Amino acid sequence: MDGTRRGLLKAALTAAAAATTPVYAQAQGGRHGQAQQAVPSDPALRVKSLESLLVEKGLVDPKAVDALIDTYEHKIGPRNGARVVARAWVDSAYKQRLLTNADAALAELGYGGLQGEHMVAVENSAKVHNLVVCTLCSCYPWPVLGLPPVWYKSAPYRSRSVIDPRGVLRELGLDLPMDVEVRVWDSTAELRYMVIPERPAGTETLGEQELAGLVTRDSMIGAAKVSTSLTGGKS
Amino acid sequence: MNGVHDMGGMHGMGPVQQEKNEPVFHARWEARIFALNRAAGSWGKWNLDASRHQRELIPPAEYFRISYYEKFLVGLIELLVNSGLVTRAEVESGKAARGSKKANPPLTVEKVPTFVANGVPASRNMPVTPKFRVGQRVRARNLNPTGHTRLPRYARGKPGTIERDHGVFVFPDTNAHFLGENPQHVYSVRFAARDLWGNQTAAQDAVYVNLWDDHLEPA
């Protein structure tokens, strides 16, 4: 898809969202667009009250809670996955190891663990496009991508990506040719999927680090291609 | 259970809307309830499958009304009460019952890095014979259990092909109900998009679903 149409689609989506309620509230089909609820139902207060109870009873260590949050806000995120993809692009032996035994290949770069105990890597090409979803809940490869974005967990994505992946991708700005084979991976077990996107043309002279800078989170879900005009690290 | 969480193939949910420069959490309480679920789960009073099922039990209208992390709050409260770690009266007051003993949390701050790095593997190193082999034609069984299952409705009764055998894993459909881990092989099963959704889809497109031995029968 050309940049103009992608831009127009994005602008249209943004405008539509701004005209009603925040994207976040819409995507959840949730209450965030409504007026504030009465105090007892405010989730912030309910969570605070629950945490204070659990700490008082010695059931959780509040410093462990802080550390878990810090881990997923600051330490583990899509930059990990981008590093893996860049390595796979420059080192075909590594890519083969990643495709045949992802756990071992990711461990070579120090990645693995919670919600990525059993990883599978799938490769996009000119002929095959892979897309990852969890229709039943929100399974996502935390060690390489961090926690999932709201859209990935939303009812529209969970419901439509298996029945109309091409339509979903078109909305997201990626119009796949009809001769491409689309493979949707529904994460129904404890296997977690990451997509190795296609290396864009014209990047032959770039080093591994520069390549990693091009790789976006969405490209590793299969929701976008990697482009040389985008900067990595966002979506 | 045939709940609204099993939404693959449903219509009418609207467009997929992405947020630019989305933060990891949209509010501090989201971060707290995310981490509280993990910290409280470390007591081992329930398992991952039970916690998923707890959120599936949220009534349909409520499931759509509340946000993702509110489901984590609702689910955690039920898990805590059902396992006896807290009472409902304590949840309502936010205070420990008089005379209750103070426990020592299993997940201390020192243990967090190891917990995150090791995770909680669901594979089991057991010699279980696979019921199916790679390349074999299979059919997802037409099961409609009222409890937890990881066999999505859209695949039930549909023919597919075993693409890969991932080895032996805990079976969520029993584990979620504390009826045993029942370890068995998990496969990637390739379903042709047309077998799932009819001729509106491209002939070469496919959906891969991870299914266990007990979800499958020979085609």
pLDDT in tens, B17-44: 999 999 999 999 999 999 999 999 999 9
* Residue of B75, B80, B71 whose CA lies nearest to B42: B80
Residue B18 lies in a domain: no
What is the CB neighbour count within 10 angstroms for residue A29?
18
Mean pLDDT on B126-148: 98
For A21-35, A193-207, A212-226, B140-154, which range has the lowest pLDDT when averaged over its residues? A21-35
CATH assignment of A77-221? 3.90.330.10
Burial of A207 (0-12, 13-18, 19+ CB in 10 A): exposed
B199 at interface of A, judged by CB pairs closer than 8 A:
no
Q: Among B36, B77, B161, which would you mutate to test the A interface (most chain A Cβ atoms within 10 Å of its Cβ)?
A: B36
Question: Who contacts B30 (Cβ-Cβ below 8 Å, separation ≥6)?
Answer: B69
Q: Cα separation of A136 and B150, whole Å?
A: 8
Q: Cα separation of B135 and A191, whole Å?
A: 20
Point out the residue among B17, B39, B105 whose CB comes nearest to the CB of A26: B17
Q: What is the pLDDT of residue A229?
A: 74
**Band (A193; pLDDT cuts 50, 70, 90):** very high
What is the CB neighbour count within 10 angstroms for residue A173?
21
Q: Cα separation of B115 and A113, whole Å?
A: 8
With beta carbons under 8 A apart, name residues in chain B contacting A40.
none
Does the pLDDT of residue A28 top 60, yes or no? Answer: no
Q: Are residues B144 and B103 in the same domain?
A: no
Give the residue numbers of A marked as catalytic: 134, 137-139
Q: What is the pLDDT of residue A13?
A: 43
Q: Are residues B87 and B163 in the same domain?
A: no
Mean pLDDT on B108-130: 98
- Residue contact A63–B108, C-beta within 8 A: yes
Q: Are residues B52 and B81 in the same domain?
A: yes
At position B61, the amino acid (one-letter code) is A
Computed over every residue of chain A, the mean pLDDT equals 86
**Band (A10; pLDDT cuts 50, 70, 90):** very low
**Band (A41; pLDDT cuts 50, 70, 90):** low
pLDDT in tens, B181-198: 999 999 999 999 999 999
Q: Are residues B32 and B111 in the same domain?
A: yes
More confident call, A19 vs B212: B212
More confident call, A105 vs A3: A105
- Closest CA of chain B from A204, distance in Å: 29
At position B24, the amino acid (one-letter code) is V
Point out the residue among B36, B76, B169 whose CB comes nearest to the CB of A65: B36
At position B148, the amino acid (one-letter code) is H
Q: Are residues B157 and B80 in the same domain?
A: no
CATH 3.90.330.10 in chain A is located at: 77-221
- Residue contact B29–A66, C-beta within 8 A: no
DSSP state of B109: G
Q: What is the pLDDT of residue B112?
A: 98
Q: Cα separation of A7 and A39, whole Å?
A: 41
B108 at interface of A, judged by CB pairs closer than 8 A:
yes
The answer to whether A154 touches A171, Cβ cutoff 8 Å, is: no
Residue B2 lies in a domain: no
Laid out side by side, the sheet with B159-169 consists of A128-133, A181-186, B206-212, B184-192, B159-169, B137-140, B216-218
Q: Are residues B161 and B197 in the same domain?
A: yes
Cα separations (Å) of B190 from A131, A184, B154, B162, B196?
Answer: 14, 10, 13, 6, 11
In chain B, the residue whose alpha carbon lies closest to the alpha carbon of A118 is B121
What is the CB neighbour count within 10 angstroms for residue A14?
15
Q: Are residues B49 and B107 in the same domain?
A: yes
B202 at interface of A, judged by CB pairs closer than 8 A:
yes
- Closest CA of chain A from B115, distance in Å: 7
Q: What is the pLDDT of residue A11?
A: 45
Structure tokens at B152: 């999505």
Q: What is the pLDDT of residue A36?
A: 39
Listed residues B118, B148, B166: the one ending a domain: B118
Residue B92 lies in a domain: yes
In chain B, the residue whose alpha carbon lies closest to the alpha carbon of A65 is B35
Q: Are residues B74 and B148 in the same domain?
A: no
- Helices (DSSP H) in chain A: which residue ranges? 3-19, 23-28, 43-56, 62-70, 78-90, 92-100, 102-108, 142-145, 150-153, 155-160, 165-171, 208-212, 217-221
Residue B86 lies in a domain: yes
More confident call, A183 vs A235: A183
* Residue of A75, A139, A80 whose CA lies nearest to A111: A80
- Closest CA of chain A from B136, distance in Å: 19
Burial of B77 (0-12, 13-18, 19+ CB in 10 A): middle
Strand-pair category, B184-192 with B159-169:
antiparallel
- Closest CA of chain B from A145, distance in Å: 11
At position B132, the amino acid (one-letter code) is F
Residue B14 lies in a domain: no
CATH code of B209's domain: 2.30.30.50
Q: What is the pLDDT of residue A15?
A: 41
Does the pLDDT of residue B120 top 90, yes or no? Answer: yes
Q: Are residues B42 and B111 in the same domain?
A: yes
Q: What is the pLDDT of residue A2?
A: 41
Q: Cα separation of B170 and A130, whole Å?
A: 26
pLDDT in tens, A49-92: 999 999 999 999 999 999 999 999 999 999 999 999 999 999 99
Percent of chain A with pLDDT over 90: 80
Mean pLDDT on A184-192: 98
Residue B40 lies in a domain: yes
Q: How many domains does chain B have?
A: 2
Continuous segment of H or E residues that includes residue A230: none
Domain that holds residue B67: 28-118
CATH code of B105's domain: 1.10.472.20
ipTM above 0.95, yes or no: yes
- Residue contact A50–B9, C-beta within 8 A: no
